[in-house]
Amino acid sequence: MTYSYRRTYRGPIQAALLDWAGTTMDFGCMAPAVVFVKVFERAGVPISMEEARAPMGAHKRVHIQKVTELDGVKARWTARHGRPPGEKDVDRMFADFVPLQLDCLSEYSELIPGTLDVVRTLRGRGVKIGSTTGYLREMMEINVRDAKKQGYEPDSAVCASDVPAGRPYPYMCLQNVINLQVSPLEACVKIDDTVPGIEEGLSASMWTIGLAISGNEVGLPLAEWRALASAEQASRRSRAYERMRMAGAHYVVDTIADVLPCFDDIAARLARGEQP
């Protein structure tokens, strides 16, 4: 008979990697969405908020390119300019995007309720806090500064511009692992409000928690979400949960305020020798 043996990690959770907009700050992930709409408007091709949000989570230049590839946007662009959008158009819009985003980030920097309590609890359990974002480094510096004023400061902050490729590739997660000096990968939990962010965590062989309400899937500021009728909330919640589950998230909850029971369950699963 031939046997093979496999090591199994049964230790504690060592790191939580959190997204920024829509996860820890900017309820509704509004800052990038409003700027994408403005950038395409300047290019003479208005887009809807739904179109602006479709690729959310990707590197911002990649995001713009993916919006231009949407059938409706491509058709309107061709009707307006007499040709489909190309690389030079994407470059030009990305150049417009950067200063517009830098100018408005602080307007959307309020921490999402529950962020500070969850981070404090996780650190009390010995869990290190990393972060990933589709923002560029100069944008991230604004978020880090504004978050620090409110009491939130992750141990590591990695941007899409810091690595060879952003989401859904795992490189930002892996750079966080290096920065935080944690191992193995199954001892890490990735939390995100976008499908590419969940795919990023899965690609990195980590546990994943999708946030259905506070970010891109519902796409409403907190006050507007709270103002919805309960039936409308239920309908939007159901769609968002389904999207996150279809993306492969191990767990789906409303907001970061609801993640601690997921950590308890992951810890129990690790102790049993389970892997993501």
Catalytic entry in 60, 146, 192, 258: 60
15-27+111-272 classified as CATH 3.40.50.1000: yes
Q: Does the pLDDT at position 2 exceed 90?
A: no
Strands 15-18 and 128-133: parallel
Q: Does the pLDDT at position 129 exceed 90?
A: yes
CATH topology of domain 31-107: DNA polymerase; domain 1 (1.10.150)
Give the whole-angstrom CA distance, residue 68 versus residue 89. Answer: 9
Q: How far is CA 42 from CA 48, 107, 179, 234, in A?
A: 14, 21, 39, 36
Active site residue 89: no
Query: pLDDT, tens digit, for every residue of 42-78?
Result: 999 999 988 988 888 788 888 899 999 999 999 999 9
What are the start and end residues of each CATH 1.10.150.240 domain in the chain?
Answer: 31-107
Active site residue 264: no
Instruction: Give the mean model confidence (pLDDT) for residues 105-123.
Output: 97
Averaged confidence pLDDT in the chain: 95
107 DSSP 8-state letter: G
